[in-house]
Each structure stands twice: as C-alpha cells, then as structure tokens.
Amino acid sequence: MGRLFGTDGVRDRANRGNMTAETALKLGRAVALYFKDRAEDGEFPAIVIGRDPRLSGAMIESALAAGICSAGVDVHLLGEVPTPAVAVCARCTDAVAGLVVSASHNPFFDNGIKVFKGDGFKLSDEEESAIEDLYFTDELDLPDGDQIGSVFTVENAPEIYADFCAGLVEAENPLSGLTLVLDCSNGATSICAETIFEQLGAAVSVIHDDPDGININANCGSQHTEDLRAKTVELGANAGLAFDGDGDRLIAVDETGAELTGDQIMAICAKAYKESGQLENNRVVATVMSNVGFHAAMKALEIETDTAGVGDRKVLERMLETGAVLGGEDSGHMIFLDCHTTGDGIVSAIKLLQALKQSGQTMSGLAKIMTPFPQKLINVDVKEKPPVETVPELAKAIEAAEAELGDKGRVLIRYSGTQPMCRVMVEGPTEEQTGEIAGRLAEVVKECIG
C-alpha cells in the first residue's frame, strides 16, 4: 500500500482521516493534473465522477469536482451509478479518467475514492505513486482565467451502462423463463439492476432497492444474504443475486436458498467458458483467499489456475500477464476480461445465468462442480499492522496450527487494505476443527495487536 492509496483506492470514515472534503479536493486535483499532462495536445480533458447513494457521497463528489476544475479539467457528473458503470462511461465519453465515490461493502459512515483510467482499467502501483507525489506537493502550477474547468451533468449514465450490459448477449431475451430475486443492498445497483435483467427477459423481484443514504449494506446485499435466501425460496425462483453497495461484486443463491460463494460462481463460469471455447489459454486467475476446493475443481476440469494477491487489481494484473480472460475472488469480485475491464456484479450475474440456461440444470446442480472445504474467516480490529512474521506469539501460533492441519487445510492471516482489521482465515477438514483453530488464532491476534 502507498502513502494514500490502499488495496482499492482511498477509504476511511467519512469526514475523518483520509476521507475529508480537503482530502478529496487535493486528490481530485492530483488525479486531474496527472492525466492532464497525458492528454492529447489541444484537448480540454474531462473526468467523469460517479457515486453510490451513501449520505456523504455528495460532499466528497463536490470536493473532488472542485479539485479537478482547479487543475484545468472539466467534470462530468454521472450521479448514482455502480462502480463498473464509471469505467464504461469513461471509455465511451473519451474521458481521461473516471472517479468513483464509494466505500463498496462498508457501512454508510465510511466512504472512499476509486480511480479508473480513461481506458476503464484501474491504476497500477506506479501510477498511484505518481498521483501521490502530486497530492503531497505544496507548490503546483495551476491555471486561471478561461483555463479553469467546468462541471457538467450526464443525465443518461444509468442508461449507458444498462445498454452496455444488455449488449453483452446477442440473443433476444436470453434469460426468458428464469425467475430471479435481486438484492441491491440499498446501493448503486438499485437504479438499474431490475431494468437490465428485465431487458434480458427474466421475471424479476427486487429487495433492498430503496436507498436513503444510511441503509446501504445494512443487513442486506452480498454480505448479508438472509433476506435473499428466504425470498428466493418463498417465490420459488431459479436463483437469487446479491450485489454489494457499489455493484462490483456478486454472491448468488440457488433455488433451495443455499448460498454460492464467488469461487463456486467462478468455477461454474470457467466450465461454461471452456465448453464454449471462450477460455483463452485454458486458465483462470484466483487469489490466495480462494478455497482449496476451487483449485481441486479446476484440476478436475484440467484448467490451469494462477494465484494472485488479494484485490481485483492484483487479479487483473495477473490476468494480463497470463492472457487469462476470467479471474476473481471468493468475495464475489469477478473479471470477465473479454467483456469488461473491471469487476462487475451485474456482468458476473449475466454470465452465471447464461451458464444456468445453457446447462439445463438447476443452480444447485451447477454448484456441485465444487465442494468447498470448511472455511472460517474472523475479522479482528487492530491498532497497528506490523508484518505478521515479526509478531513472535502470532508466528508461533500459526506454525502450530499449520502443523495440526498438515496437508488437510491451510492458514492465511492478512491485514485488510481498507480497514484497521486483520483477517484470520482457516480451511480444514471439518467445521469443528476449522472453527476452533481460527478462534484460537484470532485470540492471539487480539492479544498482540488488537
């Protein structure tokens, strides 16, 4: 992580720390200056900004816009749209960059800023570092007079994105015959998800699609699927689809109400891609957090698996290195590089439902492609983030846990890139043993750095 950027942009409690209006203004200015220097001569560049519905979004958006205009770059406001819609709009409007005001799956009182380049891809580490240099520079050469930027409103951004998603499938009404329940997490997909899936021919019921700025991610969406599971069973739907607050991840529910993880969704899509000849280089990219069962499923399908670090940026980097078109995380972030430049929950859902239709099976039947190992993930709030190996008590506890599991499981302890939190993840042969080991390690983390 850099001086300002974390795993996925900048994130903090709104109006505190790294997410104040002052921070947003300076970051908007730094991003604008960086991309302005790379714009074509004679071009007056523009940056698009989209946001999710959380309460502090307008404040951060306004500060970003002020900073961008002060650098001599125009701003095109997209309003409330999913994160992947910003990448789409950046490309189709020839903007030099796209900014997203969102804290993804975090509670409403957090917020964040993500940055896309004009081609719809996220920044590299080197590009983030260059923007940080500008952010921390006191003396900047800023324009005046008629060279100051202006702010414009893009009225049809949701429609642009909806057309993009619907255009991914050539067939007419490709999802006809499917009954779906959508959980929009009271977030950014509330504005467009129902329209998109109805355009594709599905019969749709929607829950948690009434954002008020405070209820985003509150006991709903990809992190909390209880309501979705119940509604899917109640309506006898073929599947339930849960998005997170900014719409870049997907968790699914089958017709029995059982939850499918991101790894299971990716395994289903990998098999469908291979069968249709779309799986370039016969490989997928997973992360260190991916379940052992996913790797076993890919081996059975004779599909090569590459492993990346945590975060969709790391997944994308590895995909570009290896020529893979499919990659993702167990958390539900998936990238279909033959369709989009970034993780997209709605695109992932379309791909999953295409696989469902083509298979003629139920969603629960498709999910049998992968048997997840029992996994326990415990998040522990921490005061600091020293390298795990430099904490003697923790290193010793990890060694003991790994010896206990042998080749029947694994331990992964890592810090969150966006929150003051340590994630303790254990996979093992039984729920009981996995939970006991994870709890024991979590206590050590809490005692040492909590």
- Residue spans per domain, the chain: 10-155, 161-259, 260-367, 375-449
* Residue (of 75, 124, 127, 125) closest to 101 by Cα position: 75
In the numeric block, which tokens belong to residue 206? 């929607």
CB 350 within 8 Å of CB 239: no
343-401 pLDDT tens trace: 999 999 999 999 999 999 999 999 999 988 898 999 999 999 999 999 999 999 999 99
User: What is the pLDDT at residue 10?
Assistant: 95
**Fold matches, 10-155 and 375-449:** no
User: Strands 46-51 and 74-80, how do they pair?
Assistant: parallel
User: H/E element holding 389?
Assistant: none
Alpha helices in 93-168 (DSSP H): 125-135, 157-166
Catalytic residue among 70, 104, 190, 331: 104
CATH class of 10-155: alpha beta
Give 265's contacts (C-beta < 8 A, 6+ positions apart): 250, 251, 252, 328, 332, 334, 348, 352
CB 299 within 8 Å of CB 385: no
User: What is the pLDDT at residue 348?
Assistant: 98
User: What is the pLDDT at residue 6?
Assistant: 87
390-411 pLDDT tens trace: 999 999 999 999 999 987 888 9
Residues 174 and 400: their CA atoms lie apart, in Å, by 52
186-235 pLDDT tens trace: 999 999 999 999 999 999 999 999 999 999 999 999 999 999 999 999 99
* Residue (of 147, 91, 81) closest to 117 by Cα position: 91
User: What is the pLDDT at residue 416?
Assistant: 85
Would you call 62 a catalytic residue per the annotation?
no
User: What is the pLDDT at residue 1?
Assistant: 56
CATH superfamily of this structure's domain 161-259: Alpha-D-Glucose-1,6-Bisphosphate, subunit A, domain 3 (3.40.120.10)
* Residue (of 7, 51, 1) closest to 28 by Cα position: 51
Residue 332, judged by CB atoms within 10 A of its CB (0-12, 13-18, 19+), counts as: buried
User: Strands 259-260 and 250-253, how do they pair?
Assistant: antiparallel
CATH superfamily of this structure's domain 260-367: Alpha-D-Glucose-1,6-Bisphosphate, subunit A, domain 3 (3.40.120.10)
- Kindly report the CATH number that applies to the domain delimited by 375-449: 3.30.310.50
Alpha helices in 224-371 (DSSP H): 226-235, 262-276, 292-300, 312-322, 345-359, 363-367
Residue by residue, what is the 3-state secondary structure of 266-292?
A: HHHHHHHHHHHCCCHHHEEEEECCCCH
pLDDT < 70 positions in the chain: 1, 42
Residues 271 and 286: their CA atoms lie apart, in Å, by 15
Backbone φ, ψ for residue 333 (5° rounding): -75, 120
User: What is the pLDDT at residue 170?
Assistant: 85
In the numeric block, which tokens belong to residue 100? 């997203």
